[in-house]
């Protein structure tokens, strides 16, 4: 396991937060009638993050009287921005405000920086100042800033949903009340690289292999993003979706992360079925947001 | 919800289906493929050489891909084309090269690295130009995948008698159309096939990406007949009877993206006498991948393993 929490970890992230606070969110909101339905309206939102840099997100608001709980789909390590994740029942938009954000480099937020996939995870890894993930985390936090400006939001029910960034969002933004996270590359990243040749973790392996003289620097930079060091800041109720027992981020590997998160936490090992895992997550979030007596809204073939 | 294994989709193969695609492939054949294949040291390892690939496709669109081969081999290698999902970024196929294949992972138009000339976006790709079979996005998108076979045929290290195609979701749909249109394909493994039974899928499930079509129909009232007509030329079920090579198909019976009913309907129309369906109860859109990946390995080994 990694034991090298950077000595200036707190000041590093304080500086990012300060930099972000100096940039107005400056939202521009545009209706997207084509993706609006009888039960929800869809909007395209542009907002500013550090740089300043303009980002894009999809905001869906249920029809009717709020406030509504929120699912914030945090930026992914992939080029495509979805309104809601593929395979999610579109009807969840009748129950939740959903907000999906493209961090810089993803489609719709790719001007002037268009990231490659693979490629994004090691862009600028030469130094703390140039590593792109610092800005991507800022973008992720900025998404939470924006959500909290919306009058329709129930501020007691704001979930961050996605990969490692869901944990980072909650660690760095105290408005997040719930987390559904599937860690994929930022829990002890360097230690995990040696266990796999699969992307996205293999990106770090490619970098270290190709830049041996910079490998120590890369390792030290990645420690600022290691979920291990962010875990203690989490206050949100948390669901961690782990790999199956043979995977890199199995329940065994992530048991360390579970121990470090002080809030209420559930660690679910994959059942090697997107149906069973997906249903587990939908049941969890519904129970957390609405109580055990309310059924989740799931796709037809999961009923 | 228990899917009916005898489900029949509503799509009807157009009478001029073959002539339409013959015209398209003829146009494609007249375009110089102009292959670029450059070693990518950064993504290569001691065991695997990775190349960044570009070639020309329909409408002179430059299509990219990743090509991975074992660094050391003797004789000719079996060739494999890996076709991508709808919204996922095409992977670097090092795992397949490790298994001894010369593997092309193709990035059709609109995907990352192939989007400088055509980029309808996501959502968007599924309905772009849907008013006309000659403008529909998948006319070129399919050709981009088929051209990947030409790339493999161009490589000296690839045994042209041992070429296969595989993919899941949209990759499953592209596997179907490629196996149907390219006789050089000797084996095909399609998972959770997308782009099959479109008009049924949009009733059977309400999830993206198929939901893009419902969005379109809602926004363009009166367009349903036009949309049906266009999609009948692109539906994997319309291609299925042309498939003659050995093929396996896997579906998840709780698939929330590509309804299993459409998988059944597709499989029942496949023309190959050597076909097998693997149904995974208790599985969603991953269609039993954890179990099924070994079956795909064995299937490809059986049909491509011997030089």
Identify the closest residue of chain A to B203 by CA–CA distance.
A300
Q: Give the residue from chain A lying closest to B221, CA to CA.
A: A34
Helices and strands (H, E) in chain B, number of each type? 10, 9
Nearest CA in chain A to B256: A87
- Cβ-in-10-Å burial (0-12, 13-18, 19+) of A179 comes to buried
Contact A77, A163 (CB under 8 A): yes
Residue A287: inside a domain, yes or no? Answer: yes
Q: Which residues of B58-87 are buried (b: 16+ CB within 10 A; e: fewer)?
A: beebbbbbbbbbbeeeeebbbbbbbbbbbb
Q: What CATH number does residue A218 fall under?
A: 3.40.50.1820
Domain that holds residue A198: 9-291
The answer to whether residue B1 scores a pLDDT higher than 90 is no
Q: Does residue B88 have an active-site annotation? A: no
Give Dmax over CA atoms of chain B in angstroms. Answer: 59
Phi-psi domain of A186 (left: phi exceeds 0; alpha: psi -120 through 50; beta: other): alpha
Structural domain contains residue A303: no
For the segment B4-40, what is each residue's pLDDT rounded down to a tens digit? Answer: 999 999 999 999 999 999 999 999 999 999 999 999 9
B218 touches chain A (CB under 8 A): yes
The enclosing H or E element of A182 equals none
Q: How many CB atoms lie within 10 A of CB A94?
A: 17
**In-domain check, residue A116:** yes
Rounded to the nearest integer, the mean pLDDT of chain B is 97
Q: What angle do CA B107, A59, A64 make, to 5 degrees?
A: 140
Residue A210 in domain: yes
> Which pLDDT value is given to residue A1?
66
Angle between helices A9-21 and A164-172 (to 10 degrees): 80
pLDDT greater than 90 at residue A287: yes
Whether B92 sits inside 8 A of A199 (CB atoms) is yes
Residue A301 lies in a domain: no
Taking alpha carbons only, the member of B76, B67, B73, B70 closest to residue B99 is B70
Q: How many domains does chain A have?
A: 1
Which residue in the block uniquely carries the two structure tokens 């138009």?
Answer: B109
What confidence category does residue B51 fall into, taking pLDDT thresholds of 50, 70 and 90?
A: very high
Q: How far apart are CA B68 and CA A2, in angstroms?
A: 33
Q: At what angle do helices A201-210 and A215-222 cross, to 10 degrees?
A: 150
Residue A200 lies in a domain: yes
Q: Say how many C-beta atoms besides its own lie within 10 A of residue A101's C-beta.
A: 31
Closest Cα in chain B to A110: B112
Interface test with B, best of A80, A108, A121, A246 (most B CBs within 10 A): A80
Q: Which of A232, A213, A54, A212 is nearest to A146 (CA)?
A: A54
A254 secondary structure, DSSP code: H
Residue A95 has pLDDT above 80, yes or no: yes
State the distance between the two ends of chain B, measured CA to CA, in whole angstroms: 45
Q: Determine the average pLDDT of the residues in A288-295.
A: 97
ipTM: 0.96
Q: pLDDT band at residue A166, thresholds of 50, 70 and 90?
A: very high
Q: At B286, list the tokens.
A: 């991953």
Task: With both helix axes pointing from N to C terminus, report the angle between A9-21 and A132-147 in degrees, rounded to the nearest 10.
Answer: 60
Tell me which of B105, B168, B255, B303 is the catalytic residue: B255
Which tokens belong to A108? 């719709």
Q: Which of the following is catalytic: B114, B137, B168, B169?
A: B169
Residue A279 lies in a domain: yes
Chain A contacts of B284, Cβ < 8 Å?
87, 273-276, 278, 301-302
B 83-102 residues inside an 8 A Cβ radius of A? 86-89, 91-92, 94-95, 98
**Chain A CB within 8 Å of residue B292 CB:** no
Q: Which of B254, B263, B287 to mutate to test the interface with A (most CBs of A within 10 A)?
A: B254
Q: pLDDT grade, residue B263 (50/70/90)?
A: very high
- E strand residue ranges, chain B: 36-39, 48-56, 62-70, 77-83, 102-107, 158-168, 185-191, 247-252, 275-280
Closest residue of B to A80, CA-based?
Answer: B87
Interface of B with A in 172-211 (CB under 8 A): 204-209, 211
* Residue A298, domain member (yes or no): no
pLDDT mean across residues, chain A: 96
Contacts of A300 in chain B (CB under 8 A): 1, 204-206, 256, 259
- State whether residue B30 is helix, strand or coil: coil
Tokens for B129, please give them.
Answer: 């130009």
What pLDDT score does A4 carry? Answer: 82
C-beta neighbour count of B26 within 10 angstroms: 9
Average of per-residue pLDDT across B137-151: 98
**Given this model, what pLDDT does residue A5 score?**
92
Contacts of B182 (CB under 8 A, 6+ apart): B146, B149, B165
Q: How many CB atoms lie within 10 A of CB A31?
A: 11
For chain A, how far is it from start to end, CA to CA, in angstroms? 41
Q: Which residue matches tokens 């590997």?
A: A253
Chain A residues in contact with B211 by the CB 8 A cut-off are: 90
Longest CA–CA span in chain A (Å) reads 58
Look up residue B169 and give its two tokens.
């979701």
Residue B2 has a pLDDT of: 85
pLDDT tens digits for range B60-72? 999 999 999 999 9
Residues of chain B positioned with their CB less than 8 A from the CB of A275? 252, 254-256, 282-284
B216 contacts A34? CB cut-off 8 A: yes
Q: What is the pLDDT of residue A129?
A: 82
Cross-chain Cβ contact B208/A209 below 8 Å: no
Whether residue B292 lies in the annotated active site: no
Q: In the sheet that B62-70 helps form, which strands lie side by side, from edge to edge?
A: B36-39, B48-56, B62-70, B102-107, B77-83, B158-168, B185-191, B247-252, B275-280
Q: What mean pLDDT is predicted for residues A215-225?
A: 94
Contact flag A86-B113 (C-beta cutoff 8 Å): no
B52 close contact with A: CB closer than 8 A: no
pLDDT at B53 over 90: yes
Mean pLDDT of B106-127: 95
Query: How far apart are the C-alpha atoms of A266 and A275, rounded to whole Å?
Result: 18
Report the residue count for chain A.
Answer: 303
pLDDT the model gives residue B305: 83
Tell me the pLDDT tens digit for each residue of A32-41.
Answer: 999 999 999 9
Region of A129 on the Ramachandran plot (φ > 0 left; ψ -120 to 50 alpha; else beta): alpha
pLDDT at res. B307: 66
Nearest to B167 by CA among B243, B279, B81: B81
Nearest to A118 among B92, B205, B209 (CB): B92
Q: In what order do the strands lie in the sheet with A28-31?
A: A28-31, A40-49, A53-62, A97-102, A68-73, A153-162, A178-181, A237-242, A265-269
**Is the confidence at residue A2, as pLDDT, over 80?**
no
Nearest CB to B206 within list A35, A80, A90:
A90
Q: Does A206 contact B42 at a Cβ distance shorter than 8 Å?
A: yes
Show the tokens assigned to A167: 């944990």
- CA–CA separation, B9 and B219 (whole Å): 24
- Evaluated on CA atoms B157, B188, B126, A58, the torsion sign reads negative
Residue of chain A whose Cα is closest to the Cα of B217: A34
Nearest-neighbour CA in chain B from A9: distance (Å):
30
Whether B169 is catalytic is yes
What are the structural domains of chain B? 17-300 (3.40.50.1820)
């Amino acid at each position: 396991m990694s034991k090298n929490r950077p000595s200036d970890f707190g000041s590093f992230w304080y500086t990012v937060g300060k930099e972000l606070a100096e940039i107005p969110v400056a939202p521009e909101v545009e209706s997207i009638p084509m993706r609006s339905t009888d039960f929800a309206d869809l909007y395209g939102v542009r907002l500013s993050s550090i740089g300043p840099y303009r980002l894009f997100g999809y905001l869906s608001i249920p029809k009717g009287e709020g406030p509504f709980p929120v699912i914030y789909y945090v930026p992914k390590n992939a080029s495509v921005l979805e309104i809601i994740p593929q395979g999610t029942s579109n009807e969840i938009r009748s129950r939740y405000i959903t907000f999906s954000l493209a961090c810089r480099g993803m489609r719709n937020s790719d001007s002037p920086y268009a990231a490659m996939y693979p490629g994004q995870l090691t862009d600028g890894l030469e130094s703390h100042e140039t590593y792109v993930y610092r800005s991507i985390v800022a973008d992720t936090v900025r998404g939470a800033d924006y959500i909290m400006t919306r009058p329709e939001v129930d501020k007691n029910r704001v979930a961050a949903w996605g990969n490692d960034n869901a944990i980072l969002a909650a660690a760095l933004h105290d408005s997040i009340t719930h987390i559904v996270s599937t860690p994929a590359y930022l829990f002890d990243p360097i230690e995990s690289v040696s266990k796999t040749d699969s992307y996205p973790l293999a990106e770090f392996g490619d970098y270290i292999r190709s830049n041996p003289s910079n490998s120590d620097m890369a390792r030290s930079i990645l420690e600022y993003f290691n979920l291990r060091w962010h875990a203690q800041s989490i206050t949100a109720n948390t669901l961690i979706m782990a790999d199956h027992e043979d995977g890199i981020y199995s329940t065994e590997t992530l048991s360390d992360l579970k121990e470090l998160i002080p809030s209420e936490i559930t660690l679910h090992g994959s059942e090697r079925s997107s149906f069973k895992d997906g249903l587990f997550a939908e049941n969890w979030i519904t129970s957390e947001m609405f109580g055990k007596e309310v059924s989740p809204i799931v796709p037809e073939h999961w009923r | 919800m228990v899917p009916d294994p005898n489900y029949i989709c509503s799509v009807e193969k157009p009478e001029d289906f073959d002539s339409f695609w013959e015209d398209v492939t003829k146009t494609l054949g007249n375009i110089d493929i102009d292959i670029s294949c450059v070693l990518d040291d950064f993504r290569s390892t001691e065991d695997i050489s990775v190349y960044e690939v570009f070639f020309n496709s329909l409408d002179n669109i430059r299509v990219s891909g990743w090509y991975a081969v074992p660094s050391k081999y003797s004789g000719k290698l079996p060739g494999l084309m890996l076709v991508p999902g709808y919204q996922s970024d095409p992977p670097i196929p090092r795992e397949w090269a490790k298994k001894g294949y010369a593997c092309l992972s193709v990035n059709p138009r609109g995907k990352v690295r192939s989007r400088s000339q055509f980029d309808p976006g996501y959502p968007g790709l599924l309905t772009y130009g849907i008013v006309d079979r000659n403008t529909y996005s998948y006319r070129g998108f399919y050709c981009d995948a088929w051209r990947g076979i030409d790339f493999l045929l161009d490589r000296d290290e690839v045994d042209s008698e041992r070429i296969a195609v595989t993919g899941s979701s949209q990759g499953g749909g592209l596997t179907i159309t490629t196996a149907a249109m390219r006789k050089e394909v000797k084996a095909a493994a399609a998972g959770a096939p997308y782009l099959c039974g479109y008009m049924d899928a949009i009733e059977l499930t309400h999830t993206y990406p198929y939901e893009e079509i419902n969005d379109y129909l809602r926004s363009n009232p009166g367009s349903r007949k036009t949309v049906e007509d266009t999609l009948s030329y692109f539906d994997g079920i319309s291609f299925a009877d042309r498939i003659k090579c050995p093929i396996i198909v896997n579906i998840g019976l709780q698939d929330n993206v590509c309804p299993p009913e459409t998988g059944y309907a597709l499989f029942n129309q496949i023309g190959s006498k050597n076909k097998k369906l693997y149904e995974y109860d208790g599985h969603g859109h991953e269609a039993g991948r954890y179990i099924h990946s070994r079956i795909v390995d064995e299937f490809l080994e059986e049909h491509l393993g011997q030089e």
